[in-house]
Structure 1
């Protein structure tokens, strides 16, 4: 699935209009119809044939004498034009509709102006200046008995903090009031206040029950605060074709070819991964990673441990192998075995051991996962690590590790902006991958994976793929192991990172509540079976 920026979506729309296949007015009409269709699909009780749930919850039949009521908030751009279409279509269905405009009608874009005039020819439009203060005491003078609020204020066109009279809908007391009254809030394209490119909130944002977007989801729907503000996201086609654009971001999906094994071969046909461990009492993270690497199909997995941890690890493992690795010289000797084709360093490795072993591992020029301590150990001089990286590496930082390794990029992503679009997690991960010259997997519920060539995917564990149980100690170690195991099997770094991230979430969803890190590798067989692998 494609994830677009606001600019990419505008380019797709403009290309269709310039080709003569469709007019802007036709696109606006299709968008408005898509919103109305989505409302009735999501809440059938709001179909004109149903009763008003907020005022007659026990009513089982048509409610002709007491029509459903909607308030439609229209902004100064084309998102507002969509809102006027929604208002007209709801009224045609028998709804009582009140429309508010934020901005000067004379300054509306041409297509939005046409729909403003169509509505205004027979109905009132209450106009509020863009910068007018919120009227907290009278809720925009809207009657209490409303069923639906449609947010068509800014959508994907937001470039400055959300303010003005309509911004009162972003306040928690007003949201609570709407919720208590059973009022549904629907945003067109994106909740006003949400940056559609980054998922960051500019000023404050409306929290919707549902967001209806068009053609394809936008980055802001799955990044940052997007999932918190959008509610359910429904995508409606408006008859557009996607442009060829090498910078379009995609979401990760299962690929059976990448995960299945052939019917012939032996253990070395599927690679040999080496996972380096920390010292005594700190081997659990590496053992989690090693178990993950073995479960995803690496033919062999060896734990490289210091002398102090040999007995501890030996008493904990069976299918995993054990190799003494004492410092850089020990690793150099171990790597003389050329069948070791994938390395993983970082989980509870310890800073001192990481600084000793990482340079030797990178000098071997083999597929390498660097996680946790392997990244943070170089926080004082991240350039020293970056200079040693090669294109067979995968870096897997969480937010803190990312900031230590790429402090200037992280600062740009976290900068408080007066205007949008904001520098996004996608922008940050792409910049980091380009600087590092290798794949970067920036962890989180909105995990972003980027390659130096600009390819980027988002593995978003939100909405129907939410996996909050992954917020548990050791889950990231298992992810590092999944990547190492897939690298051992011969997947390219970007493929290995994408596939592992997707599998990581699926394993968590397979187990469900109560998950701990040890459970993740044990879900792999069932996930594979569901994929017919």
Structure 2
């Protein structure tokens, strides 16, 4: 992975980081102080109720309560159960009001601090806890994650409240970026509490937040043949292939070729997209260095399967999308040898089977099975490598949810692969650039407009 990517720690890895660092009471004091400072920076003083669980999150809540009371806030703590471990020490220093852990108390608070359960929760939030969290009418601030959000997967265990603000520590968790947990967190603040980065060497995290990538740039002596060649297979819906080829050219490929063995389609394509080449014949007839994009507009049929089998047998670098994926429904081994697969959730399920609630685990399994980088598209796009490394993309705006934007993304990934990036880097960089271009375009985006915004987004991705 690129050094600019941010490590994400699962709850188990975070617990190990805490253990390696030692001095739990000092870390708890720093975490609670960070929560108190975040609340003071964003809210005016109002009656605040701290809902405190019996574990570390509850301990952080007791510390935050103490610091806020010292700052003049009206604070009360509602404990779910007697605290244990380091949290017991934090609770013993609380001298302020104690209230029942009850819905009526949450309903009348001016601000609620959810310090009940942390990111490692493995059982559903229900009963009294769910009822009390749901009763809050005022803004809610969460410690680490809203109670009920699984920090490893973003899944909601039973019930999870909607937070206005979530304060987490040292490193974010996957659940901060994966839906539905991401949406329940509201604004996420990451705060340093003194955990040394050196512990990452022992933990060796394999999950990352997708970040800024150094994109290929042409040099003073570059020419079109040196900048990579992308061939896009055209089929029943040629507009999708045209769109993917346009995206590949805008993303820096020196040459883009539309391939078809249909004579009538070849004649139509020849006048459809100035600057794009047309090859009437098989993509295997092109130079062996070409990156082939198969899928946009292709029918998921036996002819598509045969084309892809020939390409893989010839050792062509392949990016498979859309129809190329559905053509191998239930038989992902047929795509072994491809460089990048770009399914959305439906295509993923047809190819690999049900995804389940753990998108990271599903993408990792798919990458290991296929031997390809799997770019699982969505509002929380996941990019997984066969070796288990995975990145979660950030910042994709909702107006990307329109027909054709996946064709654009596939063209970008193929272009970056053709320009020399490794498959994982090409997929990650394409996803980041795609999202940045969409943010530049703004609402009302059409897929065919998106490539025109690549140049505006380029500096936002290539900042290293």
TM-score (norm 2): 0.93
Question: Residue by residue, what CA displacement relative to the aligned partner does 1:105-124 show, whole Å, maximum 9, x if unpaired?
Answer: 1xx322101111211xx334
Secondary structure in structure 2 of the residue aligned to 1:519: helix
Aligned residues of 1:247 and 1:454 also touching (Cα < 8 A)? no
Q: Does 2:224 correspond to 1:224?
A: no
Match of 1:267 among 211, 217, 224: 224
Q: Does 2:245 correspond to 1:315?
A: no
1:123 corresponds to: 96
1:396 corresponds to: 342
1:365 corresponds to: 315
Secondary structure in structure 1 of the residue aligned to 2:232: strand
Q: Which runs of 5+ in 2 are unaligned?
A: 1-5
Match of 2:192 among 237, 242, 259: 237
1:163 corresponds to: 126
Shift, 1:351, TM fit: 1.6
Secondary structure in structure 2 of the residue aligned to 1:301: strand
Q: Does 2:88 correspond to 1:113?
A: yes
Shift, 1:532, TM fit: 7.6
Shift, 1:349, TM fit: 0.5
2:114 corresponds to: 151
Shift in CA distance, 452/141, structure 1 to aligned 2, threshold 3 Å: closer
1:375 corresponds to: 325
1:344 corresponds to: 293
1:406 corresponds to: 352
Aligned residues of 1:71 and 1:150 also touching (Cα < 8 A)? yes
Shift in CA distance, 529/212, structure 1 to aligned 2, threshold 3 Å: closer
Aligned residues of 1:272 and 1:339 also touching (Cα < 8 A)? no
Question: Residue by residue, what CA displacement relative to the aligned partner does 1:194-234 show, whole Å, maximum 9, x if unpaired?
Answer: 11110010111111000000001110011021221000000
Shift, 1:338, TM fit: 2.1
Q: Does 2:210 correspond to 1:249?
A: no
Match of 2:54 among 70, 73, 76: 76
Aligned residues of 1:396 and 1:440 also touching (Cα < 8 A)? yes
1:56-205 residue pairs with structure 2 within 5 A? 68-103=46-81, 105=82, 108-119=83-94, 122-126=95-99, 128=101, 139-141=103-105, 144=108, 146-171=109-134, 174=135, 178=137, 183-205=138-160
1:31-42 residue pairs with structure 2 within 5 A? 31-42=31-42
Question: Residue by residue, what CA displacement relative to the aligned partner does 1:232-260 show, whole Å, maximum 9, x if unpaired?
Answer: 0000000112322344311222223x332
| Root mean square deviation of aligned Cα | 1.9
Secondary structure in structure 2 of the residue aligned to 1:149: strand
Question: Residue by residue, what CA displacement relative to the aligned partner does 1:427-457 show, whole Å, maximum 9, x if unpaired?
Answer: 1111111111111111111111111111211
Q: Does 2:412 correspond to 1:482?
A: yes
- Tell me the distance in 2 between the aligned counterparts of 1:234 and 1:262: 40
Q: Which runs of 5+ in 1 are unaligned?
A: 18-22, 47-51, 53-67, 129-134, 326-330, 415-423
Moved more, 509-518 or 308-317: 308-317
Number of residue pairs aligned between Structure 1 and Structure 2: 453
Question: Residue by residue, what CA displacement relative to the aligned partner does 1:332-383 show, whole Å, maximum 9, x if unpaired?
Answer: xx4233255200000111122322211111112122100011011121x41x
Shift in CA distance, 491/189, structure 1 to aligned 2, threshold 3 Å: same
TM-score (norm 1): 0.81
